[in-house]
Structure 1
Amino acid sequence: MSNLVTATWLQEHLHDDNLVVVDIRGAVTNEDLGGGKQRATYSGDPAAYAAGHIPGAVFIDWTKDIVDPHASVKAQIASPEDFAAAMIARGIGDDTFVVVADGSGGHLATRLWWALQYMGHEAVAILEGGYAAWNAAGGEITTDATTVRADAIFTSNIQPELRAEWNDVLHVVQHGGAQLVDARDPLTFSGEVQRASRGGHIPGAVNLPAASMMNTDGSWKSADEIRALAVEAGLDLEKPIVAYCNGGVTATQAMFGFHRAGADKLTNYDGSWNEWGERQDLPVEANRDLFGATDSTA
């Protein structure tokens, strides 16, 4: 089974046994604070789900239901026990094929794709183009409540290689062993725009915006096109890649793209810039005019 399904495919398979659609619509909203600084607000969109959803879909608020409420860095992945409980509450078991739908088939869908993979659940795909594609294809929308399976058993089996902590990333900076990919936009990478107390990027990282892997209609570029982007950025898809962004969400979009292009040694730095940019003891590189000399700080 592909990890990317179309609206047409989902229409044909919507009532398959053991298939569950997860509606994970929400947003990351950036507020301009002036001087190149931004403040981000993370939100789920249960109102959109209540107003109309794919028949049989269950809703997950990505800011509440699958995060660790005790973590010092926001939006960190939930504990294995809490994650399993969230899946079971929505009728998702070890034998469930999950199809994830966000507004446009982007980073919120890939966040759950990664989270499920991290918890050892490989039977997951993304609805290409998300709800925008579903609506464009004339897919049915309902406000009916979803009856979830009552006997679901979900077993979390963490795959540690899929998630990095700050110290893992620092080891890469100091000793190598992996390629660091910053999946944010170029202005944030350079430090001209910042969402933390410090701007810039992790030393040695290359900038390959996850958005560049997508077409304007929300569909994914082909594997060959993504491979070409990787080559242009100087990446070797056969070697390990650690991706990061601001909050460990867009990084999963880049991971999905690299996976689509054939890479299989992929790790998400979950804390990303929300953590690294606030840690005064971690090194930063910044190039605020994109063309001038790089400014490095400890």
Structure 2
Amino acid sequence: MAQDDPKTLVSTAWLAAHMRDPDLRILDGSMYMPDSGRDAKAEYDAGHIPGARFFDIDDISDSRSELPHMVPPIEKFMSRMRAMGIGDGHQVVVYDGAGLFSAARVWWLFKLMGQNDIAVLDGGLPKWVAEGRDLEDMPPMIRDRHMTVRRQAHLVRDVTQVSAASKLGDHEIIDARSAGRFRGEEPEPRPGLRPGHIPGSKNVHYASLLREDQTMKSVEETRAIFEAAGVDLSRPAITTCGSGVTAAILSLAMARMGKENHSLYDGSWCEWGQFPTVPVATGDD
């Protein structure tokens, strides 16, 4: 069982024990791939952890971008959080319906906005349900709450910065996609993207960091997985994936290790794979 840390990862037992804390706020950050056949909002409406608000990753994003669920402008994030009754002084816990898939993206977005008191629920909704804990289908009563946002620009990278890091080799670029997609042997789920990976990047499939019950492996096991993939954890790191969602699982894993010098490539392969002027590597290159 993971050690409870309200800034990274907490257990279902921890959440159950703190449910009545006046400044606790719970978010359902579920999001699924288009071909999954699942509707995150409909599932939330049918049953969610008591008091949870629904965090719509696709809505709380930059609507001006053609790329999926890019980081929203500060003003949009603040207004959405105020409407959800989430603000200064709150301890936030975010979960998702897959166990651990998209919740880490919400965690990372809060960190980017300067909010430190947020944790991912280890094992998410499936573990909560498997333990026979309560659900409800009513939305919570919400009161507006101001949130002070201080954007932490060092936590996010764009295509120009990642391209420079790839050329210079001064960062560990770590790709959370499957080995088949990383090598260019499997088709991308989104059409129009070249197969392969960012030159010089390493592959740590996000699923390799999870147990069968979708809880995160221990810090020691996680560290060993990164090192086995050839990642030098003493160097600054950039995480990437298909669209900036599962890359945040790698970011969460590194935060649990105490590693601080890491950022996330927001556009990820949705951007790199369609950008004609950046190189693509295949195989194990």
Q: Distance in 2 between matches of 1:204 and 1:230?
A: 15
Do 1:182 and 1:251's aligned partners in 2 also have CA atoms closer than 8 Å?
Answer: yes
What's the counterpart of residue 208 of structure 1? 204
Corresponding position: 1:184 with 2:177: yes
Q: Distance in 2 between matches of 1:44 and 1:174?
A: 40
Structure 2, gaps ≥5 residues long: none
Corresponding position: 1:16 with 2:21: yes
> Deviation at 1:50?
1.1
What's the counterpart of residue 164 of structure 1? 157
Corresponding position: 1:142 with 2:129: no
What's the counterpart of residue 36 of structure 1? none
> Deviation at 1:262?
2.4
> Deviation at 1:20?
0.4
Q: Distance in 1 between matches of 2:19 and 2:182?
A: 40
Q: Distance in 1 between matches of 2:14 and 2:167?
A: 46
What's the counterpart of residue 12 of structure 2? 7
- Report 1:45-124 matches (<5 A): 45-64=40-59, 66-124=60-118
Query: Which of 9, 21, 30 does residue 25 from structure 1 map onto?
Result: 30
Count how many residue pairs are aligned between Structure 1 and Structure 2.
Answer: 277
Do 1:181 and 1:205's aligned partners in 2 also have CA atoms closer than 8 Å?
Answer: yes
Q: Distance in 2 between matches of 1:105 and 1:156?
A: 28
Q: Distance in 2 between matches of 1:118 and 1:173?
A: 23
- Structure showing the higher strand proportion among its residues: 1
| Percentage of pairs with the same residue | 35
Do 2:82 and 2:147's aligned partners in 1 also have CA atoms closer than 8 Å?
Answer: yes
Deviations along 1:89-119, whole A, 9 cap, x unmatched? 1110021110001013312100000000000
Q: Distance in 2 between matches of 1:272 and 1:7?
A: 31
Do 2:28 and 2:95's aligned partners in 1 also have CA atoms closer than 8 Å?
Answer: yes
> Deviation at 1:238?
2.4
Amino acid at match of 1:221: K
Do 2:211 and 2:217's aligned partners in 1 also have CA atoms closer than 8 Å?
Answer: yes
Q: Distance in 1 between matches of 2:170 and 2:238?
A: 10
Do 2:197 and 2:281's aligned partners in 1 also have CA atoms closer than 8 Å?
Answer: yes
Higher RCO structure, 1 or 2 (CA under 8 Å, sep 6+)? 2
TM-score (norm 1): 0.89
Q: Distance in 1 between matches of 2:69 and 2:88?
A: 24
Structure 1, gaps ≥5 residues long: 32-40
Q: Distance in 1 between matches of 2:158 and 2:40?
A: 29
Q: Which 4+ residue blocks in structure 1 deviate beyond 6 angstroms?
A: none
Do 2:169 and 2:200's aligned partners in 1 also have CA atoms closer than 8 Å?
Answer: no
TM-score (norm 2): 0.93
Do 2:10 and 2:120's aligned partners in 1 also have CA atoms closer than 8 Å?
Answer: yes
Corresponding position: 1:125 with 2:125: no
Do 1:182 and 1:206's aligned partners in 2 also have CA atoms closer than 8 Å?
Answer: yes
What's the counterpart of residue 240 of structure 2? 244
Do 1:5 and 1:126's aligned partners in 2 also have CA atoms closer than 8 Å?
Answer: yes
